[in-house]
Structure 1
């Protein structure tokens, strides 16, 4: 049973099996997108369609990062995170490929961080996440995108902090009014194939899990979806009230730590980071930057949260799909109700 993380990981592994091109380092472009950020997004397809290679090479995830920062600054004051001192950029072992990292914090945001990798042959990776402070039970903004000259593998979601199957009050609070948004974008970015309940338990009813061949229209559709999902998350942040009850704050804290623990152990980016910067630096980047908090927000281990992954010798089963049913189509109906018969 394959999950989207399996597809993502398998494709990431292909980076170093492709023919090696001449590589260009990433540079930060200080383009101000505020003048166009309020406009409606339209999908435009050129009369002369570019080849897949041209479509991929002409597309860049850097504009996603620029939009995210500009839009977030309209809602809150962003301060550089202390992580920026140690995680701003890394040069890969090939001496050519650069990993560009940014990180910020705000009054309701514990960490907004991004990792971007871009190569001249069209291979690109974007991992952008926004984690709320534990005083707020906000969802986690998640954008995990991987692009080659022939394929895009996409996960875009407002990952639920709490169980939306059994905690219906949490689902009603954040997702009830967002179902039309998810359905709208699912028309242009349809379900990407098999996914197991292991991955599904960290996704919401509006998750965009999709795969598509590079094209201007599809890239435009993805950019539209990214902007709308981010704007919705920021509106939820504006409306969020600070929790003052100690037990609920601890509940939020543990829920976020559980999420971070899962991602730090099972994240598909581990393989490509290891190939780019080596095992030691990859592990540090994952635990200290991408999923910062896994070593600070709680003391429970991966097996404390997910005992079903324990092997007979007490080690962690490294497979990403060991339990649960596989879903080949979207397992939520048009009202956002889960229609699978085996969630956990």
Structure 2
């Protein structure tokens, strides 16, 4: 992808929250022009406004200088990109696509700083004239099927929110299936999802789009709330002892560069790190073996967030 000029004519102002004092406006390269009846720009603007309200230090990232808008080779489709950073947020980035044939795509994610074990907020949406494919989740950094401590810490309180929108595993409840399970999901993919993941497919309608926006809004507010409450994982009792002995600056250096060496390189794992079963004797990936593997036809978590997906199809 070639570099893009930051002087794009498409710009969006992040309006100050009405309860906040007026401050210097932050600009996003994502256009808010009103086009079709449904647009993912509304989702992006909501997230930016809420983030600005939650942390006043939201600023454009260095990526914004090179990635803003891009025209496709057909001269009609437009790709819009924006990226920001803030305390506790290493990168908030969005890629949206609006095509003349009604196809829209949103790839929106917020990555926490490496010092925090926060889940990653993730929204991957595809919309055509008739079809919508949706993945919305707070992607866990650890295996929530086996590491119950991590699941209890971040997801226990969010299970009711997930059940509000997703298909209930317990069919005896009167939960309305607003965004039911979207069909087979591979076991490989499942490793990266949480018990509150919304994986769904539905026909386009204003009602469904409103429901999706509502889910996006509530999930994002829930993520921001987790962010507000989280503290650095390096802030352990040993840090306080080091701080008293050698001072704050040197204590942080010892903790981050020695005790927690490598934390800033998290996320650099390869495919084989996650799926060693596909490694050949020469170290390459076995492309002849199906990567689809086992799949889950129905939601593999119950209403308590307990994994019940031992039976695969």
- Structure 2 length-normalised TM: 0.75
| Distance in 1 (alpha carbons) for counterparts of 2:226 and 2:52 | 15
> 1:82 Cα shift?
0.8
Q: Does 1:58 align with 2:37?
A: yes
- Structure-1 residue corresponding to 2:300: 331
Distance 1:248 1:149 in 2: 53
**Larger-Rg structure:** 2
Supply the distance in 1 between the matched residues of 2:263 and 2:183 (Cα, whole angstroms). Answer: 31
Rounded Cα–Cα distance in structure 2 between residues aligned with 1:171 and 1:80: 32
User: Larger RCO: Structure 1 or Structure 2 (Cα < 8 Å, ≥ 6 residues apart)?
Assistant: 1
Q: For structure 1, which runs of at least 5 residues remain unmatched after alignment? A: 1-24, 37-55, 258-297
- Superimposed CA distance per residue, residues 20-77 of structure 1 (whole angstroms, 9 cap, x where no aligned partner): xxxxx994554859569xxxxxxxxxxxxxxxxxxx9411000100000000011112
Residue 328 of structure 1: how far off its partner (Å): 0.8
Alpha-carbon distance in structure 1 between the residues aligned to 2:216 and 2:106: 12
> Aligned residue for 1:211?
201
State the 1:122 CA deviation.
1.4
Map of 1:288 onto structure 2: none
Which stretches in structure 2 are left out of the alignment for 5+ residues? 1-7, 20-34, 167-176, 235-254
The alignment covers a number of residue pairs equal to 258
Give the 3 Å change call, closer, same or farther, for CA 63–248 of structure 1 in structure 2: farther
Q: Structure 1 CA distance, aligned partners of 2:210 and 2:9?
A: 22
Residue 199 in structure 1 maps to residue 189 in structure 2: yes
8 Å CA contact 2:80, 2:96 repeated in 1: yes
1:163 Cα deviation from its structure 2 partner:
1.0
- Shift of the 35–208 alpha-carbon distance from structure 1 to 2, 3 Å rule, reads farther
Is the helix fraction higher in 1 or 2? 1
Residue 74 of structure 1 aligns to a residue in which SS? helix
* Bigger strand share: 2
How well do the aligned residues superpose, as a CA RMSD in angstroms?
Answer: 2.8
**Could you say if the C-alpha distance between residues 252 and 180 of structure 1 is closer, same or farther in structure 2, counting changes exceeding 3 Å?**
farther
State the partner residue of 1:224: 214
C-alpha separation in 2, matches of 1:212 and 1:248: 48
The CA deviation string for residues 283-334 of structure 1, in whole angstroms up to 9 with x for no partner, is xxxxxxxxxxxxxxx4x53334433333566543569962542111100000
Does the residue aligned with 2:227 lie in a helix, a strand or coil? helix
Q: CA deviation at 1:88?
A: 1.4
Partner of 1:20: none
Measured after TM superposition, the shift of residue 91 of structure 1 is 2.1
